[in-house]
Amino acid sequence: MRGPKARQAVALGLLLGLLGLLLAVTSSARLERADLVINNGSEPASLDPGTVTGVPEGRILRGLFEGLTVKHPRTLEPLPGVALTWELSPDGRVYTFELRPDACWIVAGTDPARFGERGDPLTADDFEWSWKRLLHPLTAAEYAYQLWPVRGARQFTELPIDRVYATDRAAGAWLRTEAGVTRVGLTGFRLLDAAGPDGRGGADAVRLLVAAGDRLRRGAPWLALGDTLVPSAVDGLVRRVQPQPAPTVAALASEPYESGWLVELEPPANGEAQSAGFVEHERFRDEVAWPGYVGIRAETPTTLVVELAEPTPYFLHLVSFYPLFPVNRRCLEEARERWPDSWEIEWMRPENLVTNGPFRLLERRVNDRLRLVKNPVYWDADRVAMNTIDVLAVEHYGTMLNLFLTGEVDWIDRCAPNLVHRLIQREDFTPRPYLGTYFYRVNVKKPPLDDVRVRRALALTIDRRAITDKIMKKGERPNWALVPHGIPGYTLAELEHAPPGAAFERYEAAFAADVARAKELLAEAGYGPGGKDFPTIEIHYNTSEAHRDVAEVVADGWKRNLRVDAKLLNQEWKVYLDTQRSVDYDVSRSAWIGDYPDPNTFLDIFVTGGENNRTHWGDPRYDALIEEAAVTVDATRRMELLHAAETILMEELPILPVYTYATQNLKKPRLGGFYENVLDEHFPKFFYWMDDAELAERRAAQPPEWERAPAGGPRQGLYPPAGRDEVLR
Amino acid sequence: MIAFFLRRALWFALTLWAVVTVSFVLMRSVRGGPFSNERTLHPAIERNLQARYHLDWPLWKQYLQYIGPLNLDEAGPRFLDGDGSDPFGGVLVGDLGPSFKYRDFTVNDIIAQSLPISVALGTIALLWALLLGLATGISSALWRGTRTDVAMRLFATTGIALPNFVIAGFLILLFVFGLPLFPVAGWGTLRHLVLPGFALGAPFAAYISRLTRTGMLEVLSQDWIRTAHAKGLPARLVVLRHALKGGILPVVSYLGPATAGILTGSLVIEKIFAIPGTGSHFVNSALNRDYTLSMGVTILYTVLVYALNMLVDLAYTFLDPRISVEDA
């Protein structure tokens, strides 16, 4: 190691090694450009429909999986997906879905030669299993509540984890020493037929192998769970065998659940107490329990019956929502067999994942991209135009815009706020109203904000048009209600204010009237000239330039018009959430994005004690109206009830609404099958590249002031999807 | 030699333990958790999530579980044959656990995917930084006080003063939108690494230039250099074979932390050029309260800094005959 030759050799070797690595790293990363490249804004948390909650995840999952229904990309009305038809019972409580017989899963693996092979058929059982998995406490799905309208679903998710034992293949057994006797019991297996209509796989699967007078031996079987024999953990003479009744559903949720048999043993001769507690859980943790009382039932391989606890008018929207996509049971279970410790990660790998959507996963590189390829065995594959789609995870505003402008990406979902004014006239930037509200929460317990007159004065002096027109600039609409603009069939219950005109001058006059009213209100509350001094309040928001700008306009409005001083307080995202959650603020910036186009997704937040309420506000009248709306079948009546609830909210003002969001997509003009809709949901299945004629036609219909942008589009021929018009009408 | 390595290994273990413990405590004492979100979870659902990731355990128990291949679950033996409910293998066996945020990946997966990319980017940046830094530094020292020296020093000062994202912005304007030679961002080919490598290496090149100049000036004034000149050796040989060896010692000691910094601290450059390396995880994992990932990259950084510093110490013994391993 000491000679100059050796040193040179070491240095050279090191250099060559590094260069080799460089080549290896870059050569393995090379990919042909996909037919369509989209930027998703962040790395998806997971591709498991059962455990994710985000917008970026949803976008990919709509390509990989398909639910019973899909949404029409423009109107969002349900179109047939895996289900061909569906029927609702007259009382609005039972949905019967007929599944298409030709739907199937893919064959796992990333070998393109096998992509054309059909996997297992996709049946109603898959949906029953997947939906119950979503609800299962051990799945720990954040979106489990999306299925709570189903009968018994909520109780299932709320079952204490250590009591969810019963599955169709397994149960738990326990051992306890009480005064003078040792009790050995079964626990949970009867969960199956507790109030369940069919009791499939229930008590019959479990047999007790000992009777009074027998000797129980450590290690010898005493229970049969299906084919599995459960060894005893204790020795002892059986004194008595007592059958235990099945508990009620309510008891399951609150009381320790024990059922089956209690086996009493003679007290141990040496007087030693045996350890108490559970001694054996036969694989319960990775099994998924199927309590019969959850109203999801596969009646035949192609018929799925769903019983709802209450009529839920938006249930069909939920059915097309990604948490309700099916997952492949075999895929999960085989992964569990092969990788007992890491199956939750292994089943998600591209080579193992089994999906049923229009695309399948070919490659996944963390923080870089996912490559989706067309799934040839998808039932509607003929109408899927794109062969490959790359989904990037670029987070930086400037970078994604650069990628879009250089044509490397065909669609980006957001636009840097400081560049909106440069892009707003371009034909590839088409913002539209979005089903989300930007608002401020108010701590209604904290003086002086506990006075509704003060809250009303603050709400009236927010200069909403200044915020939407001078800061946001993408066509956001001022809002005086919680529910955003754009839900069909619903009239907003706006806070009482002077109606603004469409023109800015008219708005100014209306705003002046609002300010005058606000001054009166504040004087009535005892503040202002001749009254008490108004204490300084804090506007709390998460660190971001846009939120700061809005807060500055709001604070300025309060200062100039009401002489109310407001300080700005920004916190890092997670700290901000924590502060808001513990209601440790005066006024806190908030937003809510709807899951489905229905007022309930917004109004439901502010029921008394709701976990997203975070204002200390509550009103029994409001709760009653929301509850009544939940059981009302008649659509008009229901909307009236929700409107009445929002009216109360806008009288009490635990929130100060600011504006309705707008979408901010930038997409290549040639990209077809892409529609701006209020949910900002887009469907890879319907994407295609327009031919020149269609593009010219579209462009002819554009307002003349729009700036032309590069059309983008296919590198190798066009992709006209057969029968597209007939589906999208 | 063996004693040297043993001593280093012991210190390494102690340092790592301290880093892991302190960052574990710090990470857990920050407000907000991995599952806090715009939407507050229903209490039952939150409880289920906490239980699944053992966040309902007392902190000491979570810590022990994180450190070692222990099984601390009350239900004990059930997990010994592994049923997937306990994916934590522990730092001691090199298992950094599953990521809280990217649930389809373990921390080991994430590092295994992103580290080679960071190394590739870092190699380019470092090679270019060394090439440019040494060349300018040496010429600056040789032609001390001339216009060349001033120009080189101006270059070095500018390089240090300009943050790399500003350099990146200029590079993009010049070589993407001006003269379309390179892709604007993204990852997949060597071409994707040129601009980010250049931008990332520039400040380091500037530092190296300054260090080389100082080091060379010192060495060039030494007696043995004069002797070499006097013996009639050609100037090229004196500089490259004799002076350089001593002159770059400051650069060598700087290379250790610089390499670790380049490999892990390329956060901004990785963001601007959308390079999926390790850099972004350093900040994002903390923002996401991704406890395991943030611990994982902290450990990675500790190991890298330690290993590279050791390499630097070894390199010293190659370059300076007066220093032996035992002194290091």
Q: Which residues contact A493 (CB under 8 A, 6 or more apart)?
A: A481, A483, A643, A644, A645, A646, A647, A649, A650
Q: Is B39 exposed, middle or buried (0-12, 13-18, 19+ CB in 10 A)?
A: middle
Residue A389's φ and ψ, nearest 5 degrees, are -130, 130
Single-letter residue type at A405: L
What is the structure's pLDDT at A292?
53
B contact test, residue of A14, A355, A366 with most B CBs within 10 A = A366
Domain residue ranges in chain B? 2-81, 108-319
User: Closest to B84 (Cβ–Cβ): which among A21, A341, A398?
Assistant: A341
With contacts defined as CB-CB under 8 Å, which chain A residues touch B193?
A: 22, 26
Give the tens place of pLDDT for each residue, A563-587: 999 999 999 999 999 999 999 999 9
How much of chain B exceeds pLDDT 90, in percent? 24
The model's pTM is 0.83
Single-letter residue type at B242: H
d(CA A24, CA B104): 25
Residue A403's φ and ψ, nearest 5 degrees, are -65, -40
| Segment 159-188 of chain B within 8 Å of chain A by CB | 172, 176-177, 180, 183-188
What is the structure's pLDDT at B168?
92
With contacts defined as CB-CB under 8 Å, which chain A residues touch B317?
A: none
- Per the CB < 8 Å rule, is B83 touching A140? no
- Per the CB < 8 Å rule, is A30 touching B189? yes
Q: Which residues contact A541 (CB under 8 A, 6 or more apart)?
A: A547, A548, A550, A551, A568, A569, A570, A571, A576, A588, A589
d(CA A53, CA A17): 43
d(CA B119, CA B259): 9
* Residue found by looking up tokens 């600039």 in the block: A473
Closest Cα in chain A, distance from residue B120 (Å): 5
Q: Where are the alpha helices (DSSP H) in B162-278?
A: 164-172, 191-220, 223-230, 235-237, 244-247, 249-264, 267-272
Q: Do the Cβ atoms of A538 and A566 come closer than 8 Å? A: yes
Q: Among positive and negative, which fits the CA dihedral A652, A656, A662, A663?
A: negative
3-state helix, strand, coil in chain A (%, to 5): 35, 20, 45
CB-CB neighbours of A366 under 10 Å: 21
User: Closest to B31 (Cβ–Cβ): which among A138, A368, A574?
Assistant: A574
Section B159-181 average pLDDT? 90
What is the structure's pLDDT at B171?
93
pLDDT < 70 stretches in chain A: 1-4, 7, 159-206, 225-228, 233, 244-261, 267-293, 715-729
Single-letter residue type at A389: I
* Residue found by looking up tokens 């004690």 in the block: A609
| Segment 8-27 of chain B within 8 Å of chain A by CB | none
- Per the CB < 8 Å rule, is A344 touching B84? yes
B87 reaches A (C-beta below 8 A):
yes
Q: Do the Cβ atoms of A290 and A168 come closer than 8 Å? A: yes
Could you tell me if residue B232 is left (phi over 0), alpha (psi between -120 and 50 degrees) or otherwise beta?
left
Comparing CA positions, the residue from A176, A195, A171 lying closest to residue A246 is A195
Q: Do the Cβ atoms of A659 and A464 come closer than 8 Å? A: yes
Give the tens place of pLDDT for each residue, A133-144: 898 877 888 888
Comparing CA positions, the residue from B96, B118, B116, B91 lying closest to residue B108 is B96
With contacts defined as CB-CB under 8 Å, which chain A residues touch B31?
A: 574-575, 578
Closest Cα in chain B, distance from residue A120 (Å): 24
Bond before A448 cis per omega within 30 degrees = yes
d(CA A69, CA A317): 8
Give, in order, the Cα–Cα distances in Å from B217 to each of A12, B159, B210. 28, 21, 11
With contacts defined as CB-CB under 8 Å, which chain A residues touch B176?
A: 402, 406
- Answer yes or no: is the ipTM higher than 0.90: no
Residue of B nearest to A28 (CA): B188
Q: Crossing angle for the helix pair B147-161 and B107-142, nearest 10 degrees?
A: 160
Q: Do the Cβ atoms of B194 and B121 come closer than 8 Å? A: no
d(CA A268, CA A271): 5
Q: Which residues contact A447 (CB under 8 A, 6 or more apart)?
A: none
3-class SS at A186?
Answer: strand
Q: Do the Cβ atoms of A604 and A596 come closer than 8 Å? A: no
Q: Six-digit token pair at A483?
A: 């529910």
A231 DSSP β-pair partners = A221
Query: Around A239, how many Cα atoms within 13 Å sit in the side-chain half-sphere?
Result: 10
pLDDT of residue B189 exceeding 50: yes
What is the structure's pLDDT at A24?
79
Q: Which CATH architecture has domain B108-319?
A: Orthogonal Bundle (1.10)
- Per the CB < 8 Å rule, is A365 touching B276? yes
CB-CB neighbours of B5 under 10 Å: 12
What is the structure's pLDDT at A724?
67
Give, in order, the Cα–Cα distances in Å from A330 to each of A130, A192, A236, B135. 11, 21, 41, 62
What is the structure's pLDDT at A553?
95
B318 reaches A (C-beta below 8 A):
yes
With contacts defined as CB-CB under 8 Å, which chain A residues touch B82?
A: 340-341
- Per the CB < 8 Å rule, is A402 touching B184? yes
What is the structure's pLDDT at A726?
67
Single-letter residue type at A273: A
* Residue found by looking up tokens 């804004």 in the block: A41
Closest Cα in chain B, distance from residue A661 (Å): 16
Q: Is B92 exposed, middle or buried (0-12, 13-18, 19+ CB in 10 A)?
A: exposed
Q: Six-digit token pair at A702?
A: 């554009």
Q: Do the Cβ atoms of A649 and A444 come closer than 8 Å? A: no
- Per the CB < 8 Å rule, is B276 touching A578? no
- Per the CB < 8 Å rule, is A286 touching B84? yes
Pairing assessment for the beta strands A433-442 and A477-478 based on DSSP bridges: unpaired
Q: Which residues contact A221 (CB under 8 A, 6 or more apart)?
A: A209, A229, A230, A231, A232
Closest Cα in chain B, distance from residue A727 (Å): 35
Q: Six-digit token pair at A301?
A: 């391989």
A566 DSSP β-pair partners = A537
What is the structure's pLDDT at A75?
87
- Per the CB < 8 Å rule, is A285 touching B85? yes
Query: Around B39, how many Cα atoms within 13 Å sit in the side-chain half-sphere?
Result: 18
DSSP A550: H
- Per the CB < 8 Å rule, is A26 touching B318? no
B contact test, residue of A139, A339, A402 with most B CBs within 10 A = A402
Length of chain A: 729
B257 reaches A (C-beta below 8 A):
no
* Residue found by looking up tokens 């001769």 in the block: A269
What is the structure's pLDDT at A720?
66
With contacts defined as CB-CB under 8 Å, which chain A residues touch B174?
A: none
- Per the CB < 8 Å rule, is B52 touching A47? no
Residue A523's φ and ψ, nearest 5 degrees, are -65, -40
What is the structure's pLDDT at A255?
40
Q: Do the Cβ atoms of A92 and A76 come closer than 8 Å? A: no
B contact test, residue of A46, A155, A574 with most B CBs within 10 A = A574
A359 DSSP β-pair partners = A374
Q: Which residues contact A243 (CB under 8 A, 6 or more apart)?
A: A260, A261
Residue of B nearest to A41 (CA): B274
d(CA A594, CA B38): 12
Residue A136's φ and ψ, nearest 5 degrees, are -60, 130
Give the tens place of pLDDT for each residue, A111-164: 999 999 999 999 999 998 899 889 887 788 888 889 999 987 887 787 665 544
Give the tens place of pLDDT for each residue, A40-80: 988 999 999 988 888 899 999 999 999 999 999 988 889 99
Closest Cα in chain A, distance from residue B200 (Å): 16
d(CA B160, CA B205): 9
